[in-house]
Structure 1
Amino acid sequence: MINIVRSKIHSSNAMLKSVMILMSGTAFSHIIFISTLPIITRLYTPDDFKVLAIYSAILSIVSVLVCLRFEVAVPLPKYDSHACILVVLSLISTVIINILIFLSLFIFQDNLKSFFNDSLVNYFWLIPIGGVFIGFFNAFQYWNTRKKDFLIISKTRVIQTSFSSILQIIYGLISPASIGLIIGYIIRISFGFFITGRKFFKENWYNLKRINKIKLIVIFRKYKKFPKYSVLEGLFNSSSIQIPVLLIAFYSAGPEVGFLMLASQLLSAPMSLIGQSVAQAYLSEARNEYQRNNLTEFTHKIIIILLKSSVIPLFLGFILFPYLIPIFLGDEWSRVGVMMSWMVPWFFMQFITSPISMSLHVTNNQSTALLLQIFGFLFRNGMVIIAGCFLSEFIFEIYAVTGFIFYSIYLFVVLRVLGKS
């Protein structure tokens, strides 16, 4: 796998080094996660994972909103002083929006109980806490991407996963309950902001002291397309993935959605070993490639890397997952293996498309990205609702097929846009 990366991006030593550093951190974090998962699945029940699945679906939607997508713009400015202001705007937005979320949950808690059961609503106070953590983490993470400080990104992933797994196991041994999984999940996706944030403030104290209200307004207006278009794009993208999870939880009896979450985590873990690493490195290089009028060719090289690194492993997984998962996780988790086989085509297309989707922002095509996500939201949620009403026994299978169709269309549009830019 590493040889494929080396052979295809030999012309860019910086890109190669970035990918290798990110891959190492991702690999270690996934090894920790996967090696501890058989213990965790034997400490917690599928119903505990159902609660975690619903919480993580809601938090995933919230995480797109909290920074108003200013964090996505952090790698783009020419000057670090402007990028610092974007980080500050992200942090301010995170605090304000999570306060509003907390107030909304408090005011409408009785209404929420009519849709979710009481035991689940009792955990909703963790949503704004998780929202603050993930908002801060994303803001500092994009700053590190801008500075190409991939070593700290890599270290942070390992630290987060280690603390998360240890906490979930200890909590499961003492008093197994959904809250142990939820707190561990928050740590795994965001706890590293303490490390990256400290580094950001230490290195940029001079620029931060010079920020005033006027500068905040100027940068806000300059990058207003991100909250204007990219927030909606991100919300539609996240909602097209996460709202079906909530709908499946609503229409399906038992812990079906808990199985779905575990299948998604297991399938995405090895794939993001390259995909997530390439995506961050791609974003750090895409601006320069676009300025050199070389973004299309650069993107094609990235697609080839992703194709060659995924076809054979996913094909083998498609065949073997239903047999291996019950042995790995326990017999009561056999449904997870069947789900993973169904999800292979969807995750294959997502693996190819997601890293290069940021090219729409680099080329200033945020409106196109927004339209694509609106289509995905309507298409995927619409099909799940229809399945829930008329074919509830096949609701997951239909959800998986819609994922493959959507990302196939997305890839086609991205390549067309790059061809014209």
Structure 2
Amino acid sequence: MKNVSFQMLGVGIAQLLPLLATLILTRLYTEEDFAGYTSFIAIGSIFAVGAGARYQYAIMIPEKNSEAVKVFSLSVYLTFAYSLLLVLVVLVITFFNIDFKIGHNIYLIPLYVLFFGIWNAFSNLSIRYKKFKQNSISKVLQSLIYVSSSIVFGLCKPIFNGLVLAKIIGVLSSIFYLFKKSVISLEFPKIKSLNKVAKKYSDYPKYGLLPAFLDIASVQGIVLILTWFYTKEDLGYLGLTLLILSAPLSLVGTSFKEVFYQKITYFINAREFAKGIRFFKNSALGLLLVGIPICLIILFLGEELFSFAFGDNWIKSGTFASILSFSFLIQLIVSPLSSVFNAANKLKVASYWQILYFITTFSTLGMFAYVLKFEVIELLYVYVIHEIILYSIYFILQYNTLKKLN
């Protein structure tokens, strides 16, 4: 409980700080600035999937700490190599003038991916050694540096997007903190000595990269579609909307998912399937009761709240939030329950849905945006309908997975 409390507290504060800072940042940055930041994070997150080739998630597996350090080192080496490769990718993108609405900030993507990959490796290493408090502090520090740097850059207006620079500096500060508190030294092992662990844990890149890519690309689907087919202003408004709505989704979803995973795994391992099904239903009901008030407030007061908090210039973000309120609700209910696939060892079922979600997201949004030329408001309604249908299917698959065990 102590360890979980540290994690929840860290996630909560790390989410709350940028949320509160947005009250200031929306008065320092324009809609185009938020558009550039939103697009940068979407593209950077997709590229970051390949950082470390997913070996960072194997750090907790080895019995010996010495082997875990080798896996950590392998992840860091691969992150450096991958980031260098991204430099070439970025040069190709700029050569062919592919527009992601982030301008020269695209040159910062390899740097962001490099820092994110190293931070992710350090974070998993700290969890292995049960340094939950330090891991929590690193997340708070990252948010604190991001917020303070964003305000400074908002005042002095650097060449690059201030929000993007602040994000990169925040991740870098977290790396320094975790390295200072870590059990390793600067002496990394030779590359040849890592061949054994690379082969031993090769399932992580083999079976982890594609699902992770599909997952993050699907999540960022609406952002990418607006990046390609709509104005920077619309993308900026959506960026603020997603920033605000993601805070309760991350806090409630992440915290509940950890507790749910532990409990549902216990019921399945104990072969108490009836109790597991009942717990699943009660969990869904509990998440529904938590989400309904938030959903209704956003639905009916979205424009007023955004206008009051962020200024009249951002009232359209409130309109977007009102439309997206029901997609927010169903994601809040269904996403935390996805741990049932891990607990039941039915990852193939989850992967099938992920592929379906990826295909339908881009085909549906792409058709209505590019072919049918829908306005952005109309597209958001299509997106909400799509989310409700797909997440309803996901929920049914979760429930049926449990029932088949009984």
Secondary structure of 1:357's aligned partner: helix
Query: Structure 2: how far apart are the matches of 1:243 and 1:311?
Result: 25
Q: Which residue of 2 aligns with 1:63?
A: 48
Contact 1:163 1:187 survives alignment (8 Å): yes
1:115-130 matches, cutoff 5 A = 115-116=99-100, 120-130=102-112
CA distance in 2, matches of 1:37, 1:273: 17
Partner residue, 1:25: 10
The counterpart of 2:75, out of the listed 40, 65, 90, is: 90
Question: Relative to structure 2, which stretch is displaced further, 279-288 or 46-55?
Answer: 279-288
Q: Distance in 1 between matches of 2:188 and 2:17?
A: 40
Amino acid across the alignment from 2:254 = Q
| 352-361 or 394-403: bigger deviation | 352-361
2:296: which partner in 1?
315
Q: Does 1:341 align with 2:349?
A: no
**Contact preservation (8 Å) 1:48, 1:177:** no
Q: Which residue of structure 1 aligns with residue 387 of structure 2? A: 403
Q: 1:169 to 1:228 in 2, by over 3 A?
A: same
Deviation at 1:92, TM superposition (A): 2.3
Is 1:154 equivalent to 2:132 in the alignment? no
The AA in structure 2 aligned to 1:93 is: L
**What is the TM-score of this pair, normalised by structure 2?**
0.85
CA-based RMSD of the aligned residues comes to 3.2
Written as runs of structure 1 = structure 2, the 5 A alignment for 1:384-395 is: 384-388=365-369, 389-393=371-375, 394-395=378-379
Distance 2:267 2:169 in 1: 35
Alignment map for 1:284-323 (pairs within 5 Å): 297=276, 300=280, 303=284, 306-323=287-304
- What pairs with 1:47-62 in structure 2 (closer than 5 Å)? 47-62=32-47
Moved more, 392-401 or 279-288: 279-288
Rounded Cα–Cα distance in structure 2 between residues aligned with 1:372 and 1:284: 23
Aligned to 2:218: 240
Gaps of 5+ in 2: none
Q: Distance in 2 between matches of 1:84 and 1:285?
A: 31
Judged with a 3 Å threshold, the aligned counterparts in structure 2 of structure 1 residues 336 and 360 are, in CA distance, closer, same or farther, namely: same
Residue 396 (structure 2) aligns with? 412
8 Å CA contact 2:341–2:347 kept in 1: the answer is yes
- 1:144 aligns to what? 126
Residue by residue over 1:189-228, the C-alpha shift from the partner in whole angstroms, topping out at 9 and shown as x without a partner, is 564122223333x2x569x9889746x4443334333212
- Could you tell me how far apart the structure 2 residues matched to 1:194 and 1:358 are? 32
- Which of 150, 154, 167 is matched with 1:185 structurally? 167
Q: Residue 336 of structure 1: CA displacement?
A: 0.9
Tell me how far apart the structure 2 counterparts of residues 190 and 415 of structure 1 sit (CA, whole Å).
41
Contact 2:221 2:361 in 1 (8 A): no
* C-alpha displacement of 1:85: 3.7
The 1:342–1:242 alpha-carbon spacing in structure 2 relative to 1, beyond 3 Å, is: same
Unaligned 5+ runs, structure 1: 1-13
Matched, 1:372 2:353: yes
Percentage of identical aligned residues: 26
Once the 2 structures are TM-superposed, how far is the Cα of residue 332 of structure 1 from its aligned partner? 1.0
Scaled by the length of structure 1, what TM-score is found?
A: 0.83
Q: Structure 1's 322 and 381: CA in aligned 2 closer, same or farther, altered over 3 A?
A: same
Residues 233 and 371, structure 1, Cα contact 8 Å, conserved in 2: no
Q: Which deviations, in whole Å up to 9, do the C-alpha atoms of 1:22-46 show, x marking residues without a partner?
A: 2322332333222221211111110
SS of 1:124's equivalent in the other structure is helix
* Superimposed CA distance per residue, residues 134-155 of structure 1 (whole angstroms, 9 cap, x where no aligned partner): 1112222233344443322321
What's the offset of the Cα at 1:258?
Answer: 1.2
Query: In the TM superposition, what is the alpha-carbon distance from 1:286 to its structure 2 partner?
Result: 8.0
Q: Does 1:37 align with 2:22?
A: yes
Distance 1:42 1:396 in 2: 26
Q: Which moved more, 1:272-281 or 1:314-323?
A: 272-281
Query: 1:349 and 1:186, CA in 2 relative to 1: closer, same or farther beyond 3 A?
Result: farther
Aligned to 1:260: 238
What's the secondary structure of 2:99's corresponding residue? coil
Distance 1:234 1:330, change over 3 A: same
CA distance in structure 1 between the partners assigned to 2:379 and 2:28 by the alignment: 28
Instruction: Show the counterpart of 1:270.
Output: 248
> Matches of 2:175 and 2:245 in 1, distance apart?
26
Deviation at 1:268, TM superposition (A): 1.2
